[in-house]
Amino acid sequence: MKQDDPGKLLRLFRLANLLGSRKHGYLLQEILEHTGVSRRTYYRDIQILEKCGFEVEKTSSGRWYIERGQDLSDRLTFSVDEARLLRETLAGLPQETSKLLRQKIEALSETGTSLQLGYQSKLSQTYSDLQEAISQKKQVQLLDYHSFSSGTVSNRTVEPFSFQSANGLLNAYELSSKQVKQYKIDRIGLVKRLDQEWQHEGLHAGVSDDPFGGILGEDPWLVTMVMDEIAAGIWKEERGPFWFSRLQDLGNKRYRLTEKFSHPFGIGRFTLGLWEHIEVEGNDAFISYIEKIISKKINHGTKLPE
């Protein structure tokens, strides 16, 4: 067995569990954000799962799922309470001792997102409290929230409604400012759950959403790029007809994208994954962000996408 085989098996378990956990499936970008793998690795893993007898399906709307996967998921996964109990049990063990056990729990847990945010008990509890408030549509207080932009520590009363899991962000409506904002989960001191139900659900999302589901803040990233037919087609498949309709048709099967993003993570990964099919224009900050990633990969001996 190769040295990286255990990690590959855990990744395949995690993917099989994910695709079998939701009846209507996931969009490709959602899967990539959940698993943290590249598009190329995902398609290779799908082939392996199919060879192992899994019936992987793709709907006309671009959602992936495993046929009859719910039974498999119910038998293999830990429930929210089970995963939390196991995680708390492992919290007192040395990290090296519990590392593989934690990986197995993460791979077979329906609360994988919370585990990926960190093994620290406090961070996992913060995520769990927020997740419960969202499911019950309740307001919460974010106690001792550290704001790097203002350099303050304060309490915020909010209506939490979704997560941007890949970036560790909470999307919530703040009552005092009457605005939808994003909060770094690891900057929250403590979550105080309130009895008050949501009062402003109609304001939780809207025109301030970016193409990857983020909420635009005060300093969004304006990105401009030109895509060829292949990149534009994948953009339409992953982001949907609305965001595709916002592309400027330049003729000769070339399209210009000009959009604001809450964070460069999603559009950065999209750009690097289709490097030969995209020309980045303008925005020195985004160009610098891409160059730093490429430089880091080269310095560590990682091959760039072909």
Question: Which domains does the chain carry?
Answer: 5-116 (1.10.10), 121-203 (2.30.30), 221-299 (no CATH)
84 confidence band (pLDDT: 50, 70, 90)? low
pTM of the predicted model, to two decimals?
0.39
**Nearby residues of 64 by Cβ (< 8 Å), 6 or more positions away:** 19, 25, 26, 27, 28, 31, 46, 56, 57, 58
pLDDT in the model for residue 116: 42
pLDDT in the model for residue 252: 93
Considering Cα of 254, then 260, then 263, then 266, what sign does the dihedral take?
negative
Residues 273-293, mean pLDDT to the nearest whole number: 89
Average model confidence (pLDDT) across the chain:
76
pLDDT in the model for residue 134: 87
202 confidence band (pLDDT: 50, 70, 90)? confident
Q: Of the ranges 18-32, 39-53, 77-91, 160-174, which is most confident?
A: 39-53
Considering Cα of 217, then 35, then 239, then 71, what sign does the dihedral take?
negative
Considering Cα of 21, then 25, then 28, then 33, what sign does the dihedral take?
negative
205 confidence band (pLDDT: 50, 70, 90)? low
Q: Percent of the chain having pLDDT more than 90?
A: 20
For 5-20, the pLDDT digits (tens) are: 556 776 787 788 778 7
